[in-house]
Amino acid sequence: MVTYLVHGLIFFLQETGSTPQAGMKNAMLEGLKHPDLSKFLVVGALLFIIGVAGVLTRRNIIVIFMSIELILNAANLNFIAMSRYLQQTGSVNALAGQIFAVFVIVVAAAEAAIGLGIVIALYRNKETIWIDEIDLLKW
């Protein structure tokens, strides 16, 4: 994913860099109107990083869940972006990314259901959802 990000950035910069300096503004506007693959990948990477940061820093399990959803959506975004890109290049297997995204959504829903169930069970036993007070994994 980071690879996509980096390559996307480089691609973007190279593309913009290849135009004459006078047309650069136009080119950037054009890029915003019709975003290419790298733009999506950059957004996906940002979403992913935000999600990871959330998972690692927040104490509330519910928020951590939300962060995990962000990570999953980052992945989904990448899938969709790739699917779109491949459609444009005329690849045969272009729909695979979309199908995958649907799968991820379904799995995320199931995961959220189970996860929230676990959270409720934890709360009933420990009376807390602060994750730094839950150190059962030590044993």
- Site residues for other proteins, 10-39, by CB under 8 A, read 10, 13-14, 16-17, 21, 24
Nearest C-alpha neighbor of 4 from the set 71, 80, 78: 78
User: Do the beta carbons of residue 72 and residue 108 sit within 8 Å?
Assistant: yes
Which CB, 24 or 113, lies closer to other proteins?
24
Find the binder of other proteins among 43, 55, 104, 105 (CB under 8 A): 55
Kindly tell me the burial class for residue 18, based on how many C-beta atoms sit within 10 Å of its own C-beta (0-12, 13-18, 19 or more). exposed
**Minimum Å distance from CB 6 to other proteins?**
5
- Site residues for other proteins, 100-139, by CB under 8 A, read 131-132, 134-139
| Enclosing H/E stretch for 36 | none
Round to whole Å and give the CA distance between 13 and 28.
Answer: 10
User: Do the beta carbons of residue 116 and residue 58 sit within 8 Å?
Assistant: no
Find the binder of other proteins among 32, 33, 34, 56 (CB under 8 A): 56
Q: Is 3 in the site for other proteins (CB under 8 A)?
A: yes
Q: Is 80 in the site for other proteins (CB under 8 A)?
A: no
Binding site for other proteins (CB under 8 A): 2-3, 6-7, 9-10, 13-14, 16-17, 21, 24, 52, 55-57, 131-132, 134-139
